[in-house]
Copies of this chain bind each other. A is one copy, B any other.
Amino acid sequence: MKQRVEIVTRILDSNDQLAEQNRKKLDAHQVFAINVMASPGAGKTSFIVQTIAKLPEGLRLGVIEGDTAPVTIDSDKIIEAGMPAIQINTGGNCHLDANMVGLAINQLNLDDIDLLLIENVGNLICPAGFALGNHANIVIASIPEGDDKPYKYPNIYRNIDVLIINKIDLLPYIDFRMDYFREGVEMLNPGLKTFEVNSKTGEGFDGWIEWLKERVSTTQK
């Protein structure tokens, strides 16, 4: 048993080292990178596609798409929206790691990118434990998932910089107590920046785009 713990620790150490290498490479090219985490079907790709549509002129975006299977459904949507996308197939693994992201970064022309969105595997548990080298973490929650998720999956809410509450157009059809949900988040991550949006229509995106602009501009002195 002791042996196993040591090995796992070493794997995490090596992941952290690779994450640091990723960060250095991103910083050298003045790329601001965000790790996007969510449940399956919370709307990560739709959120990214809508972000592309609302992107301020001159802000150049790249996307890394993490999937557990060799399908290009998500990366196809990004490329259709006019931005470069690299697909990572985790081979059944439940999260991206720094090594996978490092390999994907090498395939992007970082000099042509200001903002890198890394869409993690759809999972509220595993991605929280693996640094990728990115500068900010966001979680996309969605109304139909229910208002108890911060209480049941607390770790993923703890170390994030922005929370997106997606699919607010479904609020009239679902028992979702926004107060209860937000109280749970507040306990885990006081004062967390939160935007309520509809990724289909773009409703609520102004605040998020403002936040993005501000963060990207501080990277590029």
Tell me the A residues contacting B by CB distance below 8 Å. 3-4, 7, 11, 39-41, 67-69, 71, 73-74, 92-94, 121-126, 142, 144-146, 148-149, 151-155, 167, 169-170, 173-174
Contacts and interface: CB of A to CB of B under 8 A. Distances in A.
A153 B7 contact: no
Contacts of A149: 40-41
A130 B17 CA distance: 30
A48 to B, nearest CB: 14
A67 B154 CA distance: 11
Contacts of A142: 41, 144
Given A169-B173, A170-B170, A122 B39 contact: yes
Contacts of A40: 39, 124, 145, 149, 152-153
A124 B39 CA distance: 9
Contact of A7 (B3, B69, B122): B3
Given A39-B39, A167-B144, A173-B169, A94 B126 contact: yes
A170 B152 contact: no
A155 B92 contact: yes
A122 B152 CA distance: 9
Contact of A71 (B11, B152, B173): B152
A170 B149 CA distance: 20
A74 B39 CA distance: 18
